[in-house]
Structure 1
Amino acid sequence: MNAILITFNKCAAIEDDYYMFASKPDDLDDLSEFTRIFYFDDQAPENKWRHLDIPYFSTICLCVVKSALGSQRKYAALSKNGDISYYWPGGQGTEKIVDAGLKKVAPMYGYLNSLKEIDGCLYACGGGGQIYVRDANQWHDIAGELRSPAPIIKPNHAINQFNIGDDIADIDGYSAKDLYAVGRNGIYHYNGHSWRLCQVFTDEIMMSVICASNGVIWTCGFNGTILRGNAASGFEAVSHYDDDMILTKMAFYRDHIYFASNEGLFLLDYTKEKSRLQKIDEIVECEDISVVGDTLLCIGSKSIYILDKHGWRELKHPDHT
């Protein structure tokens, strides 16, 4: 039987030799809601690849959940409509963030964008200013005044007459009382009670945020924008790339920050004050990146590349050989 070509869209590095990928078979049309999850285990004695299918599910984010759901590590796939599928050795489960996604009844807040474990808790964020945290049993809204449902448009009402909630692209933080979120309107900080906009000198849309261990917050987004700082001192621009490039995700790896973008994979040496973005020529396209231990995982729509102590290497998927 001929292999069915697939297109990768998300990845997660679980261990140095164990990876997770979200993909969609190419024989499905663009409107079909479907995810094929692949696992690659380099320690498996025989078949290193295995997969499972999630019908009616469009994965927007993958997350390795270390402790938020108990002592056993789990792997989570978040759909844009707020459905979450969890997997672990010997089991699986699903749940729904009730207000998320597109519904037939109001209020409607829109799609989700990101799922992340922060200080032993799971957080999710998305359109309409949605920000949620999961306790031991269920999800709770913590967006406060940021959350705003999509307006019900009536005849003769202009769209600019309505308050539309921010599209929160990503979230990170140090604790439940020290969180950062980024989106269309900039960078927000949460002190455990409320969110406030941080001082920034750009109107670019921000797509990704990382809270470094030294207390410096990094964020990136449209037109190659890279900012660093924190809520107390504000943020400064450190990028030197003025173009239509969109930096969609970033990850620390050794002494650099790597950036996924619509123009490929880039890196920035954050130890140097006037460092410039450098393109990784080996990577033609970069849909997503993930780091664990001594491994950086990078996917294109049809490719998988791994950077470790031995340098770059390509991991061939069996359906693409």
Structure 2
Amino acid sequence: MILSQTEYAEYFHGYHIIDCVVRDRNTLYWTLLSTYDDSKPAPPTHERATSIVSCFLDEPEDAWGWTRMTGMSLMKAGASLEPDSRFVGVDLAGHVYVIGGGENRLEKDVPNGKLEASRGAITRLKTLFGRLYACGGLRSLCHRDGAESWLAVGGNPPLPSRKEVDNRVCGFNDFDAFSIDDIYCAGDRGNVWHWNGKTWRRVDFPSNMYLESVCCGSDGYVYIGAQSGNVWRGRDDRWELFHEDSLSLPFMDMVWFADTLWATSDYGLWQLRAGKIVKADVPIAISNSSGNLSVNDGVMLLSGDYGAALHDGNEWMLLFDLATLRSEHAKKPA
């Protein structure tokens, strides 16, 4: 592990991880939300402290840093590589915080409105071919075009009808791409759309399951994580229920790494092996770190409420075990 007990007390104690991102193989970030007294009603998330924790693996003597603030609601962790290399955090309301290149500051919000880059709550950030993209409510997908500039992809798909809104067929929870002109977005109940570089098209999807996560694999298939841990596989208008499950949670993140699909939730880590999605054969300390996944620069970061681990394509490295560090911290005299 690379996190000492002293560093845990400064950077992670009193918080839990809500997202993570790899900016490059030596630069990792986590967004955290402060805990609260669970014997009392939960305060609104924007009243709880948000922390952005950074780790520079190539600077072991000064690896860790943090920035803390209030007024954020469940900040997602993102990384922009083009036109500049930055950590970019965006919360549900579209508030933006940027770190890198000498900057550590709030930027203007992502423009929000029926004719703007975003049309509702920001639900996912993802780096596609160097650009940082964000998806969200009322079928919106946009990308960051530089400091304080966000552009809707293709002007966004047509707005959903009132009936579609009432039936929960209207928002995006995730997206992925084979290229910047071949993007799939999905969310809500069977709501799947495709951008071909010129037009948006509603995909003829054969289910009204709630859809949570999307991964475009190097095998040419689109994988869509649905309710209860089910996974659909297909492309264009041809789809099959590839993996059936009965979990209480869908897969939170799905990524393609080391020539296979990886999927995670708070309950563990899965991977595509021998044509089936199965529990990943990893040490318990690694699977306990499940929650979020981020891939960039040849590494995959796995992070959850109990720790974080890094995969370099060949082997895992446990970065920190929060369960053990919390337990040791609790034993310290007040």
TM-score (norm 1): 0.80
Partner of 2:150: 139
Match for 1:112: what amino acid?
I
Task: Sort the Cα spacing of 1:203 and 1:22 in 2 relative to 1 into closer, same or farther, 3 A.
Answer: same
Identity within the alignment, %:
19
> Which residue of 183, 193, 199 maps to 1:194?
199
Task: Sort the Cα spacing of 1:297 and 1:138 in 2 relative to 1 into closer, same or farther, 3 A.
Answer: closer
Is 1:51–2:94 an aligned residue pair?
A: no
> Which residue of 73, 93, 99 maps to 2:112?
99
> Which residue of 145, 156, 173 maps to 2:177?
173
Moved more, 92-101 or 81-90: 92-101
Match for 1:278: what amino acid?
K
Match for 1:226: what amino acid?
V
Task: Sort the Cα spacing of 1:186 and 1:32 in 2 relative to 1 into closer, same or farther, 3 A.
Answer: closer
For 1:171 and 1:61, the matched residues in 2 are separated by 15
Partner of 1:155: none
How many angstroms does 1:242 deviate by?
A: 3.6
For 1:301 and 1:210, the matched residues in 2 are separated by 23
For 2:145 and 2:24, the matched residues in 1 are separated by 26
> Which residue of 303, 307, 311 maps to 2:311?
307
Checking the alignment, whether the CA contact within 8 Å between 2:92 and 2:122 is kept in structure 1 is: yes
For 1:187 and 1:160, the matched residues in 2 are separated by 13
Counterpart mapping for 1:60-139 below 5 A:
60-67=75-82, 70=83, 72-93=84-105, 94-99=107-112, 109-135=119-145, 138-139=149-150
Partner of 2:25: 16
Please give the per-residue CA displacement for 1:50-80, whole angstroms capped at 9, x wherever unaligned. 101132112442122111xx2x311111110
Checking the alignment, whether the CA contact within 8 Å between 2:169 and 2:191 is kept in structure 1 is: no
How many angstroms does 1:35 deviate by?
A: 1.5
More helix by share: 2
Task: Sort the Cα spacing of 1:76 and 1:134 in 2 relative to 1 into closer, same or farther, 3 A.
Answer: closer
For 2:150 and 2:25, the matched residues in 1 are separated by 31
Task: Sort the Cα spacing of 1:135 and 1:240 in 2 relative to 1 into closer, same or farther, 3 A.
Answer: same
- Aligned to 1:201, the other structure's residue is in SS state coil
How many angstroms does 1:245 deviate by?
A: 3.6
Calculate the aligned-residue CA RMSD, in Å: 3.2
Checking the alignment, whether the CA contact within 8 Å between 1:224 and 1:241 is kept in structure 2 is: yes
Partner of 1:221: 226
Partner of 1:296: 300
Partner of 1:230: 235
Checking the alignment, whether the CA contact within 8 Å between 1:170 and 1:208 is kept in structure 2 is: yes
Checking the alignment, whether the CA contact within 8 Å between 1:38 and 1:49 is kept in structure 2 is: yes
For 1:18 and 1:127, the matched residues in 2 are separated by 30
Counterpart mapping for 1:193-272 below 5 A:
193-231=198-236, 234-269=238-273, 272=274
How many angstroms does 1:7 deviate by?
A: 0.5
Counterpart mapping for 1:35-50 below 5 A:
35-50=50-65
TM-score (norm 2): 0.77
Checking the alignment, whether the CA contact within 8 Å between 2:124 and 2:174 is kept in structure 1 is: yes
Is 1:278–2:279 an aligned residue pair?
A: yes
Task: Sort the Cα spacing of 1:115 and 1:300 in 2 relative to 1 into closer, same or farther, 3 A.
Answer: closer
How many angstroms does 1:39 deviate by?
A: 0.6
For 1:161 and 1:97, the matched residues in 2 are separated by 22
